[in-house]
Amino acid sequence: MSLKESDLQKLYQILGYQFQQPTHLKTALTHRSAGNPNNERLEFLGDALLSLIIGEFLFQRFPKAKEGQLTRLRASLVKGETLAEIALELELGQYLRLGMGELRSGGWRRNSTLADAVEAIIGAIYIDSDLFHCRKVVLAWFETRLSSLSISTIEKDPKTRLQEHLQARQQPLPDYQVLKMEGPPHNQHFEVKCQVVGLKATIGSGESRRRAEQAAAEKALKLLKKHTKFHKKG
């Protein structure tokens, strides 16, 4: 779609930032399916900036936190699912510039596309201004999530928790196998099987192998919990 001046002004208000050069924002909203220039390079830059901004905030907010705790907190904030949620809150889907194929397949509501757009806009804000203004905007987007953070409530990811659970009991580590991989490189879908000795295999799916493995591990953890309760009752 072609962004009108009225669209840009509305989006500036939503983002909380007025672009000096609107072409930066237009590029950030352009998916590669729509041609060049697109947002892939800005996405790369925005990813690095986001990690820095959130990492710096956490470092200052939790002076007694250990590296592992800070890493897990940051990962929970910069992961694709969180960025897609922010994109929906900012109503970015309606402003994305997509090729016809992506439009027909509903690319404007795909989590990976939305998350990429958020990172690209962060990169665009940085090159349009500076780190100070970029940090201010990003922290405003994350304000609600950052205010509710707690070191005590953050959990390790499912794969790590499953591995540590099995290691603590001197049991074999889980075996992950990719059952299915479909779609083009920019829109892949994975199905992964997680096999834990003594349990029924679990299957997880996601937009990357890692996400599919995490989903399968989460299901395995739930089975382990039920299995443990059953034996305690017995």
Residues known to be catalytic: 47, 119
Distance CA 117, CA 82 (A): 13
Contact predicate 137/16, CB 8 Å: yes
Cα 95 to chain centroid distance, Å, stands at 20
- With b for 16 or more beta-carbon neighbours within 10 A and e for fewer, the 184-205 pattern comes to eeebeebbbbbebeeeebbebe
Amino acid sitting at position 182? E
Q: Please give the biggest Cα pair distance in the chain.
A: 69
The dihedral through the CA atoms of 33, 213, 211, 73 has a sign that is negative
